[in-house]
Amino acid sequence: MESTTVHNGWYLLAFRSELTEEITPLEVGHRRLMAVREDDRIRVFDAVCPHRGAHLGYGGKRQGDCVVCPFHGKRIALADASKRWSVAEHTVLAWGEALFVRLTGDPGGDRGFERAVQAWETTYPLVKAVTLPVAVASEYVVENAFDPDHFKAVHGVPGTRGMATRTGGSGELVIEGEFLMQTSPWQDARRLEEVRWEAVRTGTVRWDYKPRFLARAFSPSVVVTEFGPPEEVHVIVTGSVPTAGGGCVARVAIGVRGDQRSALPALIAGSDKALGEDKVVWEHLDPHATADYDARDTPVRAFRMFCTGFGDLSGASGEAGATDEAGAAGAAR
């Protein structure tokens, strides 16, 4: 799949721990951005100076409601189109440690994500799990949630059942099914070993653990997965951001209920291991190979069709002079 350099949907842009400075340079494909800290608030703006094109995120200094350009010292207004030189602000959504952004006010790019986050954020506050640069088109990262066969071939999951796709009420793409496993992968090592030896002793494998897998893609770059039985559901958010030099940065964040926080270390370690396994495949595939799909690829094809429904912002220069209409909502909660 060819990567859409910049689309009008959501991106998992960064984790708060990556934004420690007052101004931090960022990118989405060739789109130059900067995150501006205001105490606990984080706002995201275009970073191309409208005077001569310098990147305001590298050496720019905050001065009131402006950033002073590091090239010529011009005062560049933040989201004030009444000024001669101004950069646009973008819609930002904070969920725990994760920061999401959309680069347009087009409501068609939301697909219900803001409302969904409101339902999840209190019970499942997100923490950083993995950040990994990958030499593959951004969309492959989220596509994995819609590729049931890869779970067994790449990650050793014994089996899956169901895994049917549908369109959600806000236009998001949903896939739901079950994993077939002997026991929870978040059990301690001794319990996992007991289960393995029981299977050897009896010559019978019992699939006693059948966690629900429910994933919702809200854009080509963000998928939220609820995984586990009702008593131990975990939320796993996977995102990808294309980089100007090609490839992308994949990020995984995890949310658990307060009574499940002891599972976090195993969940983070498992996410790191799984993303490393995926990276080996991604970085050695031929993205230009002609696909020869079979019936089991129906969810993958559904995801690829879903991706075509997002507006392409690749031609936007990011040289602001007007504020994004959604910019007023652009401060992270």
Rounded to the nearest 10°, the torsion over CA 106, 112, 114, 118 is 170
The residue extents of the domains of the chain are 11-106+315-329, 126-307
Give the residue from 155, 160, 251 showing the smallest Cα distance to 213.
160
Identity of the residue numbered 138:
S
- In the DSSP assignment, the letter for residue 29 is B
- E strands, the chain, are 11-15, 23-28, 31-38, 41-46, 61-63, 66-68, 75-78, 86-87, 89-95, 98-102, 126-134, 159-167, 173-180, 212-219, 222-227, 234-242, 248-255
**Are 96 and 126 spatial neighbours (Cβ–Cβ below 8 Å)?**
yes
pLDDT at 317: 57
Taking domain 11-106+315-329, whether its CATH number is 3.90.550.10 is answered by no
Residues 6+ apart with CB under 8 A from 99: 12, 13, 14, 15, 16, 19, 35, 42, 44, 92, 93, 332
Whether 319 shows a pLDDT value over 70: the answer reads: no
Q: Are 32 and 57 in contact (CB under 8 A)?
A: yes
Name residues whose C-beta falls within 8 Å of residue 71's C-beta, 6 or more positions apart in sequence: 49, 51, 52, 54
Residue with tokens 């951004």: 138
3-state DSSP of 193-224: HHHHHHHHHHCCCCCCECCEEEEEEEECCEEE
Asked if CATH classification 1.10.3720.10 holds for the domain at 126-307, the reply, yes or no, is no
Confidence of residue 34 (pLDDT cuts 50, 70, 90): very high
Show Cβ contacts of residue 38 under 8 Å, excluding neighbours closer than 6 positions.
331
d(CA 226, CA 93): 20
- The candidate with the shortest Cα–Cα distance to 135, out of 250, 223, 237, is 250
Return the residue matching tokens 């069709």.
Answer: 305
Helix axis angle, 264-282 to 148-155, nearest 10°: 100
Residue 289 has pLDDT above 80, yes or no: yes
* Model confidence band, residue 313 (pLDDT cutoffs 50, 70, 90): confident
d(CA 1, CA 247): 12
More confident site: 208 or 306: 306
* pLDDT confidence tier of residue 179, bands split at 50, 70 and 90: confident
**pLDDT over 70, % of the chain:** 84
Please name which of 85, 220, 209 lies closest in space to residue 143, comparing C-alpha atoms: 220
At 194, the pLDDT band (50, 70, 90 cuts) reads low
- Model confidence at 261: pLDDT above 50: yes
Residue 320 has pLDDT above 90, yes or no: no
Q: Is residue 168 pLDDT above 80, yes or no?
A: yes
> Does the pLDDT at position 265 exceed 70?
yes
Please name the amino acid found at residue 296.
Answer: R
Residues whose CB is less than 8 angstroms from the CB of residue 187 and which lie 6 or more positions away in sequence, other chains included? 195
Length of the chain: 333
Q: Kindly indicate the confidence band of residue 230, based on its pLDDT and cuts at 50, 70 and 90.
A: confident
